Amino acid sequence: MRTVYLNGEYIPENEANVSIFDRGFLFADGVYEVTTVVDGKLIGFDGHIERLQRSLNELQMNHKVDREEMLQIHRELVTRNNIDQGMIYLQITRGNPGDRDFAFPPADTPITIVMFTQEKQVVGTSVETKGLKVVSVDDLRWGRRDIKTVQLLYPSLAKMEAKARGADDAWMVQDGFVTEGTSNNAYIVKNGKIITRNLSNDILHGITRKSVLECARLLQMEVEERPFTLDEAYGADEAFATSASGFTNPIVEIDGNKVGSGAPGPVGDKLRGLYLEENRKAAL
């Protein structure tokens, strides 16, 4: 049984209880982060903590994240649960006002903070060699996708639609342009150039995206940050997706069309290699 963290305490998972009045439960009024663990160490920790603080600020949640305290809790959970590869999930909600009301509770209402580990192979997976198939779906999410909220019902529906259509994931499309995957940022490669949607409120500002684009520049690859169409994606030489736990994952098919040769491409492969090398060196 896992040891989880709830509001200052390390407890067995079956003893961790949150109120039925919690704003996270009633209003999806919460934010989250997922930090990947490789060799028992945290990948991209500071990026996740900075984005967490930004999400809280954007939702006017009155909580100052203490980096040192968070680092210590992350490490303690890794140790107590003996995690070599996997993830640490962290969620903060606006807490328990003791009743249901659309208006926010008083600013001094304690937040709810939950953290737990997930054990999962993240390095050397079969996806690296086989790639993923995606289908396109309309992007029906709200307009502040830059805030990492726990409102994940639409991405969850999109994922189920993808599976029903024989694919692994969905790429969401708005006004003819790809926004992102259900839980990853989307990229295509054409004539050696990497194209990925520019940062705005339309997509999550991926921690992996930032690091992978830095790797691309180190490798002197050309990067264009702009929206791309589905047709461009169908005609791309290569496609891939980035996320904290997937690093860069090759996309080999979009809506039944083979991308390039239909096998994982060299640009994504190279980026994955350098990303892992750099981030393992910097892991905490």
Using CB under 6 A as the binding rule, whether residue 91 contacts ligand PMP is answered as: no
Q: Whose CA is closest to 145, among 185, 105, 100, 190? A: 185
Draw the binding track, 230-249, toward ligand PMP (x: CB under 6 A; -: no contact).
------------xxx-----
Residues designated as active site: 148
Residue 96 or 117: which CB sits closer to ligand PMP? 117
CA–centroid distance for 6 within its chain: 22
- From 13-21, 86-94, 177-185, 272-280, give the range in contact with ligand PMP by CB under 6 A: 177-185
Q: What angle in degrees, to the nearest 10, is found between the helix axes of 45-58 and 207-218? A: 130
Task: Spell out the alpha helix ranges (H) of 2-144.
Answer: 23-27, 45-58, 67-80, 126-130
Using CB under 6 A as the binding rule, whether residue 216 contacts ligand PMP is answered as: no
Residue 183 or 279: which CB sits closer to ligand PMP? 183
Do the bridges between strand 86-93 and strand 30-38 make them parallel or antiparallel, or are there none, so unpaired? antiparallel
What's the CA gap between 41 and 247, in Å, rounded? 15
Instruction: Return the bridge partners of 225, or none.
Output: 196
Residue 96 or 179: which CB sits closer to ligand PMP? 179
Using CB under 6 A as the binding rule, whether residue 208 contacts ligand PMP is answered as: yes
Using CB under 6 A as the binding rule, whether residue 207 contacts ligand PMP is answered as: yes
Residues that bind ligand PMP (CB under 6 A): 34, 180, 183-185, 204, 206-209, 242-244
